[in-house]
Structure 1
Amino acid sequence: MNSGPGDVLQLIRRGEATTRRELQDLTGLSRMTVAQRVDALLEAGFIREAGDAHATGGRRPHRLEFNVESSVLVVATVDTTHSRTALTRLDGTILADERVDVAVLDGPKVLLTSLAESFVRLFDEAGVAHDSLAGIGVSIPGPVDPHTGRPSQPPIMPGWDAYPISEHLQESFDVPVFVENDADAMALGEQSRNYPDSNSLCLVKVSTGIGTGMVINGSVYHGIDGGAGDIGHIRLAGETAQCQCGSFGCLAAVASGRAVAHALGVASGSDVKRMLAEGNVDALRLTHEAGGRLGEVMATVVSMVNPGVLVVGGDLASSALIGGIRESLYPRSLARATRNLDVRLSTLGADAGLIGLARIAVDQLFSAAAVNSAVSASAVPAPSGVVVGGRNAG
């Protein structure tokens, strides 16, 4: 393996090595070289010593850990009718958050300007210095081109195609900005927090639209241009309802929160969520039926990907929805594809996307290459002025 400070940091971040001795054993580096790497990371503020590790004979070794308080992130999960913003530590711990009631139909300029204003309020609310910001993460309810970081023909976001989200926010914040699909961010959040040992996880988000995020071997699978998991626009045989994308018979047109809300005569999936919590019989029945249609499509996803975990999230996530999914998923899948499958509701709820965005940002900001470059150039003066990826986060 490579042996620069950044590579050592990855071992510490993943918990594979938490002492200098363990780093020696894993890397094969000499004691002096490991000490140099660790000292460089300590000086940069990327890691810290925390208490004592278990003794192995002689002097007790200090435990090394990633310094999640060295800087902060701001993240935002954009939904069709509103967004949620948060100020977080590097491990995704939420320090402050708020709801921003601006719809995607208001256009990218209006919505992103509102997000930027919210970010400033969060710093003031939490009493955190603005120059401690290391990066920004934003998720949107549509495909994102992984090469450009821009929306890629999002079906339910008119006027957003190829919009430069990162560049817009960098007019106010001179830090790296990472843009991700909402279901992908949620999937990574669930995997990071609840299923770190799972090497194949799928999350299906059922809100205004329907999307699936896939985390394989610890990384989001995007497909060739960000379209992986966009199951909401698979067309179902025999269905004629018109979808927001303009096509007819899409899964989202019959099984999304918007579709169920329309059948119930209410405004949105958020209203359906409230009715489900109240035990409304019609909402429970229609959500269960939506789960059945969703399970038909997820049977193909499960057979193709063979995940160990299938997490169900979004406004319609409920026992009624997951019951319908199971009823149609299992009979339509080979037993081999589902014998080790764990189907369950999200436990993180709306926090999943925020936590996932924090993980996405940290994986890039503190990658081995970025840290090696920063440390070798002596470009990291202090934890509050982190310089990574060639951009000063202050």
Structure 2
Amino acid sequence: MPDVPWAPAASPGQLLRLLLDGVPRTRAELANQTGLTRAAVRTRLDALQGAGFLTDGVITVATGGRPAGRLAFNAGARTVLAADVGASHATVAVTDLAGGLLASRRLALDVATGPERVLGALARTWREMVSEAGLSAVSLAGVGIGLPGPVEHSTGRPNNPPIMPTWNGFDVPGHLRAEFGVPVLVDNEVNLMALGEHAHSFPGTDHMIVVKVATGIGSGFISNGVLHRGAAGAAGDLGHIRVPDGDDADCGCGNSGCLEAVASGSAVAARLRAKGVDAHTSADVVALVRAGNVEAGQAIRQAGRTIGEVLAACVSMVNPSLIVVGGDLAAAGEMLLAGVREAVYRRSLPLATENLRIVPSRTGEVAGVLGAAAMVIHHVLSPAVVDQQLG
């Protein structure tokens, strides 16, 4: 959470923002830090405690006097429902207000069956998980969802998503608000992967690109520590950049020669089938690589090179210090990464790559749900929203 400029009129929400760093503080310390009177601090803290946002049980011995109670943020005050929806599966989770996983589950589903069926499956799964984890009595803060296509973040509506045309313009937030009665935030799945990797694995990295290589290919950009969505939420649509040697490979977006049509898991599998190798999905390709299949290994390495050719242009444009590669195909390990590194380091200027690291995802298949939860948490714990709740 970013720092808050303090003023004598600091609100309860601003006080809570200060405590989100996890460091317990006494009321006197908060008064000194904010410039508020102790009476004003007490009034604001009472409101936050009444809403369950704070705990008051950490005791230290005060110098020359009685023990002083320290207040700390209570991450268990609310739960967050999060989902990372891909083309053929979804990772579904329940977290606390610190983004800690309380329960998670992986579902097989087909996003092409449409929003009502997919969102209905998510809602049923969330309710089952909350019940099984014994969290039914804990208040719900919000819902966060990542979808495999462009999303207008301000409205949460998918915007002409190539692999899920029946979702175009669908009111995802409205549909789930009717179900759960809380704020619902929606974004592109790879944007949320970037948020998840940044928040949980690389919090000190202000400039990074996260790439997902699976049935499709996408990316999310963190710039100056903030997710860059672009004017219409379409930033990072790496998979639909034309590859110079992409030939006429047809892409689901309606164009040909796109990176996704050439180097995604499904594209690699199709290339292997053309050579007589039994591969239909990203998982099949990964299994072949792990089993030592030479043709699969060569195909993955070439896919990495092709992805790296496109990423090299991104490196020259945005100058990240880190590229994180995740997604189903990245489970093949160093073979894909080696291809990416080979092309990026060959094609980018030395100044841009001198301190550039290209690494595998640390959070793996839960990166997207952690990012979805982080998106919701940032919203519901913002001073304005907290103050509105307490008002």
TM-score, normalised to structure 2, is: 0.89
Kindly state the Cα deviation for residue 276 of structure 1 after the two structures are TM-superposed: 3.3
Kindly state the Cα deviation for residue 373 of structure 1 after the two structures are TM-superposed: 1.9
Aligned residue in 2 for 1:93: 100
Aligned residue in 2 for 1:326: 341
Aligned residue in 1 for 2:301: 288
Deviations 1:312-331 (A, max 9, x none): 11011121111111111012
User: Separation in 2 of the partners of 1:198 and 1:22?
Assistant: 30
Q: In structure 2, do the counterparts of structure 1 residues 343 and 30 end up closer, same or farther at CA, with 3 Å as the change threshold?
A: farther
SS at 2:166 equivalent: coil
SS at 1:105 equivalent: helix
Find out whether 1:359 has 2:382 as its counterpart. Answer: no
User: Separation in 1 of the partners of 2:29 and 2:293?
Assistant: 56
Q: In structure 2, do the counterparts of structure 1 residues 322 and 22 end up closer, same or farther at CA, with 3 Å as the change threshold?
A: farther
Unaligned stretches of 5+ residues in structure 1: 378-394
Deviations 1:10-62 (A, max 9, x none): 12114588454553454333333333333322222112235357978866654
Kindly state the Cα deviation for residue 93 of structure 1 after the two structures are TM-superposed: 2.1
> Contact 1:150/1:163 (CA < 8 Å) preserved in 2?
yes
Aligned residue in 2 for 1:149: 156
> Contact 1:243/1:252 (CA < 8 Å) preserved in 2?
yes
Q: In structure 2, do the counterparts of structure 1 residues 308 and 74 end up closer, same or farther at CA, with 3 Å as the change threshold?
A: same
> Contact 1:209/1:252 (CA < 8 Å) preserved in 2?
yes
- The one of 333, 336, 350 aligned to 1:335: 350
**In structure 1, what residue type is equivalent to 2:348?**
S
SS at 1:224 equivalent: coil
Written as runs of structure 1 = structure 2, the 5 A alignment for 1:26-175 is: 26-49=33-56, 51-52=58-59, 62-129=69-136, 132-175=139-182
**In structure 2, what residue type is equivalent to 1:185?**
L
Deviations 1:93-129 (A, max 9, x none): 2222223222011111111111111112112221221
**In structure 1, what residue type is equivalent to 2:375?**
I
> Contact 1:147/1:225 (CA < 8 Å) preserved in 2?
no
Aligned residue in 2 for 1:214: 221
Find out whether 1:275 has 2:283 as its counterpart. Answer: no
Kindly state the Cα deviation for residue 91 of structure 1 after the two structures are TM-superposed: 2.0
TM-score, normalised to structure 1, is: 0.89
Kindly state the Cα deviation for residue 278 of structure 1 after the two structures are TM-superposed: 3.3
Aligned residue in 2 for 1:239: 246
**In structure 2, what residue type is equivalent to 1:326?**
R
SS at 1:208 equivalent: coil
Please provide the CA RMSD for this pair: 2.2
Aligned residue in 1 for 2:267: 259
SS at 2:167 equivalent: coil
User: Separation in 2 of the partners of 1:374 and 1:231?
Assistant: 39
> Contact 2:196/2:371 (CA < 8 Å) preserved in 1?
yes
User: Separation in 2 of the partners of 1:242 and 1:107?
Assistant: 23
User: Separation in 2 of the partners of 1:220 and 1:99?
Assistant: 26
> Contact 1:187/1:356 (CA < 8 Å) preserved in 2?
yes
Aligned residue in 2 for 1:390: none
Q: Percent identity?
A: 43
Kindly state the Cα deviation for residue 366 of structure 1 after the two structures are TM-superposed: 1.3
Deviations 1:177-224 (A, max 9, x none): 111111111111111111112222210111111111112344321000
Unaligned stretches of 5+ residues in structure 2: 274-278
Kindly state the Cα deviation for residue 288 of structure 1 after the two structures are TM-superposed: 1.1
> Contact 2:24/2:70 (CA < 8 Å) preserved in 1?
no
Q: In structure 2, do the counterparts of structure 1 residues 36 and 269 end up closer, same or farther at CA, with 3 Å as the change threshold?
A: same
> Contact 2:325/2:359 (CA < 8 Å) preserved in 1?
yes
> Contact 2:24/2:72 (CA < 8 Å) preserved in 1?
no
> Contact 1:92/1:354 (CA < 8 Å) preserved in 2?
no
Kindly state the Cα deviation for residue 67 of structure 1 after the two structures are TM-superposed: 1.3
Aligned residue in 1 for 2:256: 248
User: Separation in 1 of the partners of 2:384 and 2:310?
Assistant: 39
Moved more, 362-371 or 56-65: 56-65
Q: In structure 2, do the counterparts of structure 1 residues 102 and 20 end up closer, same or farther at CA, with 3 Å as the change threshold?
A: same
Count of residues paired in the alignment: 376
**In structure 1, what residue type is equivalent to 2:130?**
F
**In structure 1, what residue type is equivalent to 2:259?**
L
Find out whether 1:310 has 2:315 as its counterpart. Answer: no
- The one of 234, 237, 244 aligned to 1:230: 237
